[in-house]
Amino acid sequence: MTVQSRIGEETKSGQYSSKELDTWIEQLKECKPLQENHIKYLCEQAKDILSKESNVQEVKCPVTVCGDVHGQFHDLMELFKIGGNAPDTNYLFMGDYVDRGYHSVETVTLLVALKVRYKDRITILRGNHESRQITQVYGFYDECLRKYGNANV
């Protein structure tokens, strides 16, 4: 199977290459949202990875532990600037990736992309803001509607 030449195209198996994922990660680091179909792909891959992980996670040390990001994309980038980029640094994110900030979509998409690309170096936990009810109250749902015209992402 070969990856087609255009960026963002799937291989015949329906998978994207590591190079594709790296391109998406770089795009996200510039706070530029991905296409809806790319986000769906990342979510499907992350769901598959996370469903195979134990509810109690062993984390490789040393590890940088990060608390609530709440859509503060530029703060997340500062965390990576100080702590180092994945996969050079192990990260444990404690949840609450969305709501309150202006860039929740880009923030959570970057973290999911990093999890898919470096599944053994990035640990992401679900916070209370990663629930349908909370996201509808605090803004993530509305941000998805604004940026994509629907809440499918």
> Residue 26: what are its φ and ψ, rounded to 5°?
-65, -40
**Which ranges in the chain belong to alpha helices (H)?**
18-29, 36-52, 73-83, 104-117, 132-138, 140-148
Candidates 38, 70, 103, 129; catalytic one: 129
Concerning whether 129 is annotated as a catalytic residue, the answer is yes
> How many residues does the structure list for the chain?
153
Taking Cα atoms as reference points, which of 21, 40, 35, 25 lies closest to residue 153? 40
Other C-beta atoms within 10 Å of 56: how many?
A: 5
Question: 75 near 103, Cβ under 8 Å?
Answer: no
DSSP per-residue codes, 133-151 = HHHHHHSHHHHHHHHHSSS
Other C-beta atoms within 10 Å of 69: how many?
A: 27
Q: Which residues are catalytic?
A: 129
